[in-house]
Chains A and B, each alone.
Chain A
């Protein structure tokens, strides 16, 4: 699939470059440092990307056949390549730290910001120069870091309790820790340790709630069992028990008031709230 005809690698523009370089070299060789015989070389370029290139070759001045940068726009941290070709110069220099270079060559540069490179060719007949500019753009911003990983902005205790801790749900008239409650509380244990690290003096309430069906008085006892069961589970996972206060609300503080299983399940829960 990569059987490419080598001729096709050269774009028409590049083919013209190559021709110009060849002609330039011939011109240098013909000049030989001697005084021209009056016959001027039949060179009629300027070429692309050059500036101040003379339309004709003065007898003693160098000729900058080309000076260009590719690509002309890069992101910060990427590189660009300067290419140039000069004839008739005793010395060729490029500023911005590139220094003295051969008459023809290329150089990889990694500018930190947009830079205009100036090539100066010095010869017996005087100096000529040309410039090439590479524009450096800033890379796009990375995604924002997760809030929980930032210690610089830990929020309020209330906001952390509300956003970082999950309710644990129970079956009717039961304080058994179900599998889904086990997962929630395992998550909560890690979150609680971080919250306690960020708020060294805080305590957190672990509320026990019930659905509307049992009697208010019995549910007060059941809510206590639920909050205690959840607290004991957290204690096993290394959460400091003395910083969690269990409070049973029975069925007195429901999160919803519909009479269906969906709402009842939402109310059969252990729920965290900020303490003091």
Chain B
């Protein structure tokens, strides 16, 4: 796919700043996720595929909206006529078949997504285009045009809508793509009381599938950076133990657990070759250990007189760890991968937990009770350099376990704002909150690239 220049000055600024250590202040940084080209999206129609266009149009619109990259023009503001092919454009029209009709009020758009679908050879073909309607010339206005293929049913329509939306989002410079990314989580749906299993779903909440059938309490998953290995903690054998499975085959991978009352809280290094975890193998407090991905070659990292859990390796600097620890009530600490230079990162207020690195290695999301009663966590984001932070959720129940999407723009988290714990995604400025689960109780989401 050809890559075009980034069109949003705001987005470009956010990208540049994310790559430098001295970026904008944290509030500006999270607001940059609201960088807003004004995008008009027509209602696509189908020729022989019309029965599936409701699913297509809602999927396309939701993907584009939840990306947070655009201000979507309300459909009531759109001109009467829609172009379906580039050759439909005229120099002057007044009702939608001229580029200028989209740039002027009431639409006032900067960009237009248009096209159509048709049944072709028993399959569904989508012809999707993206134009910059501020341009005069239809040739130079077109950012891309592409043919997509799917099955001639709702599933095929949803598939091509995702792919087309992803291409549009990519045009606006997301650091990664959500297409094909999946969210791993734990759910008690269909399990005996007290038991939880690992599940996976598409990033928009569709296609939920059960991955483990251990018939036990199983929890706290984490995904390798390449999305091929899933690590979690299970009580299937009595004491909490670490287990790894392949996300492609579902098979259990070899992993050696040290003799300990507790081995838990796994996370992977950026190269996926090692894991950090919390263990009582020293027969004392839970402390941070590092081992190869098969559990061999384990080594104690820290020697501190406090509970240590949730080691998280900086994706851009494998020598830096964030952990959750004391003394006193739980806070987030930074240390080297050798367990040195221990420094408290959060300011000691309330209780802080669940650090999750942004792909830039400069920021992290976390859960914090600051300003609320004990146990009432909200999602915050902090700049590791300046220690500035910004609050993204505001006391809508308990909000915990934030983890970043591969695109660095979305956060998935658990909230009980509906009464029971469910999984939500939001844009990293706290907007575009979407509930992704509604069957049973669901928690501990992590976002994998596949």
CB within 8 Å of B: which residues of A? 172-173, 205, 211-218, 220-222, 224-225, 227-228, 245-249, 252-253, 259
Contact B261 A228 (CB under 8 A): yes
Q: Which residues of A contact B324 (CB under 8 A)?
A: 215, 217-218
A215: which of B240, B285, B353 is its contact (CB, 8 Å)?
Answer: B353
**Complex: how many Å from CA A87 to CA B117?**
135
Interface size (B, Cβ < 8 Å)?
34
Q: Which of B310-327 contact A (CB under 8 A)?
A: 310, 324
Contact A221 B240 (CB under 8 A): no
Given A215-B367, A220-B220, A220-B309, 10 more A-B residue pairs with CB atoms under 8 Å apart are A213-B374, A214-B330, A214-B351, A214-B353, A215-B377, A217-B310, A218-B310, A247-B240, A248-B240, A252-B196
Q: Does the CB pair B377–A220 fall under 8 Å?
A: no
Q: Cβ of A217 and Cβ of B309 under 8 Å apart?
A: yes
With most chain A CB atoms within 10 A of its CB, the pick from B233, B330, B351 is: B330
Work out how many contacts link A and B, with CB atoms closer than 8 A. 93
* Bound-complex Cα distance A228 to B240 (A): 14
Q: If A214-B351, A220-B265 touch, does A249 touch B286 (CB 8 Å cutoff)? A: no
Give B270-297 as 1s and 0s: 1 = Cβ < 8 Å from A's Cβ atoms: 0000000010100001100000000000
B264 x A220 contact (CB < 8 A): yes
Contact pick for A227, options B219, B235, B261, B444, CB 8 Å: B261
Interface residue B217 (Cβ < 8 Å from any Cβ of A): yes
Q: How far is the CA of A212 from the CA of B196 in the complex (A)?
A: 17
Q: Are B238 and A218 in contact, with the CB atoms below 8 A?
A: no
Q: Is the CB of B329 within 8 A of A220?
A: no
Smallest beta-carbon distance A253→chain B, Å: 6
Q: Given contacts A247-B240, A248-B261, are A215 and B351 in contact (CB under 8 A)?
A: yes
- Contact partner of B307 (CB less than 8 A), chosen from A211, A218, A227, is A218
Is B202's CB within 8 Å of the partner chain A?
A: no
Instruction: Name B352's closest neighbour in chain A (CB-CB).
Output: A215
Provide the bound-state CA to CA distance between A172 and B375, in Å: 11
Interface residues as binary, B239-276 with A (CB distance below 8 Å gives 1, 0 otherwise)? 11000000000000000000001101100000000000
Is B84 engaged at the interface, CB distance under 8 Å to the other chain? no
- Report the bound CA distance from A227 to B235 in whole Å: 16
Are A224 and B238 neighbours in the complex by a CB distance under 8 Å?
no
Nearest CB in chain B: distance from A35 CB, A? 104
B194 touches A253 (CB 8 A): yes
**Cβ contacts A to B, 10 pairs, < 8 Å:** A173-B329, A216-B400, A217-B353, A218-B324, A220-B240, A221-B278, A221-B285, A224-B262, A247-B261, A248-B261
What B residues does A259 contact at CB under 8 A? 375
A222 proximity list for chain B (CB < 8 A): 307
Residues of chain A with a CB closer than 8 A to B166's CB: none
A215 touches B239 (CB 8 A): no
* Minimum C-beta distance from B132 to chain A (A): 46
In Å, the complex CA distance between A245 and B286 comes to 16
B354 interfacial by beta-carbon distance below 8 Å: yes
- Closest B-chain residue to A228, C-beta based? B261
In the bound complex, CA of A224 to CA of B264 (Å): 11
